[in-house]
Amino acid sequence: MYRIGSNFIGSSKLTTSTEMHQVVPSPPTHWSKGYNFYRFSFHNTIPCTVKINEDEPIFLRGRQGFNTDYYDAPIRSFVIIEPGVQFNWVAGY
């Protein structure tokens, strides 16, 4: 099974996190639901802890990153817990 996406979205530049930084943006105002990414790629420059889909925290080493594909659970929420983490991301929806 695979999913045919509609578009891509992501960082326009390297970004620095704030405390409890939600990476997944709010959807356009005319949408009835939030984003549901079938592909997601996150790249961190330093170690950090993230919460994915409001689940238990996961530690990522510096430059480890995190990637999903169409056969993984969709990403609805991706929170960087610590402030000061430089990162960029890209996703398909």
pLDDT in tens, 22-60: 999 999 999 999 999 999 999 999 999 999 999 999 999
Q: How far is CA 2 from the centre of its chain?
A: 20
pLDDT score, position 5: 87
Percent residues over pLDDT 90 in the chain: 92
Average pLDDT over residues 60-88: 97
Number of Cβ within a 10 Å radius of residue 42: 24
Q: Which fold has domain 8-25+35-92?
A: Jelly Rolls (2.60.120)
Domain regions of the chain by residue span? 8-25+35-92
**Whole-prediction pTM:** 0.93
Q: How far from 12 is each of 59, 63, 72, 81, 87, CA to CA, in Å?
A: 25, 19, 25, 21, 11
Looking up tokens 């326009």 gives: 12
Give the pair of three-digit tokens for residue 27: 């959807």
